[in-house]
């Protein structure tokens, strides 16, 4: 949430969207809602951008898209790796499978399930190596 706040607030400020700090805070807070939170948080910033000029509006869309792509592909996997000890690739695959199978709820519970499976497999491997 803090990273999205910083990315969005900085990007919007640099392209000249008014109230960039408030819009960044709004984006950070709504980041807690999977999938729809980032879309809802982008709407006011994009509207304000288009009120200034079409160029600023499209740049605002670009700021939100880049920050979400950075979050989805770089930040979340690294945070999950440190928080739960999962490989970033495993995290991405778990999120994709969870979202595909269970929608928003599946995406939410995919990381805990993947962590539990990983711990179970590691315990089995340790017991197998210990018994050899």
More confident site: 19 or 112: 19
pLDDT at 131: 62
Q: Return the structure tokens found at 43.
A: 């709407």
65-93: per-residue pLDDT in tens? Answer: 999 999 888 887 777 777 777 788 888 88
pLDDT tens readout for residues 23-46: 999 999 998 887 788 999 999 999
Q: Do 11 and 48 fall within a single domain?
A: yes
For position 129, what pLDDT does the model report? 72
Number of structural domains the chain divides into: 2
Pick the range with the lowest mean pLDDT from 18-22, 25-29, 58-62, 120-124: 120-124
83-105 mean pLDDT: 85
Q: Does 43 share its domain with 61?
A: yes
Domain limits for position 105: 85-132
- Give the integer Cα–Cα distance in Å for 25 and 59: 19
Residue 56 in this model has a pLDDT that exceeds 90: yes
Residue where a domain stops, chosen among 62, 80, 98: 80
């Amino acid at each position: 949430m803090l990273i999205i706040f910083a990315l969005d607030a900085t990007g919007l400020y640099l392209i000249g969207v008014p109230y960039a700090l408030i819009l960044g805070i709004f984006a950070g807070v709504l980041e807690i809602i999977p999938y729809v939170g980032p879309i809802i948080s982008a709407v006011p910033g994009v509207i304000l951008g288009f009120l200034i000029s079409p160029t600023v509006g499209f740049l605002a869309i670009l700021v939100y898209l880049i920050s979400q792509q950075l979050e989805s592909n770089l930040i979340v996997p690294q945070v999950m790796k440190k928080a739960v000890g999962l490989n970033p690739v495993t995290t991405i695959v778990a999120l994709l499978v969870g979202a595909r199978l269970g929608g928003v709820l599946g995406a939410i519970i995919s990381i805990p399930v993947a962590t539990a499976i990983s711990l179970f497999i590691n315990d089995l491997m340790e017991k197998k190596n210990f018994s050899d």
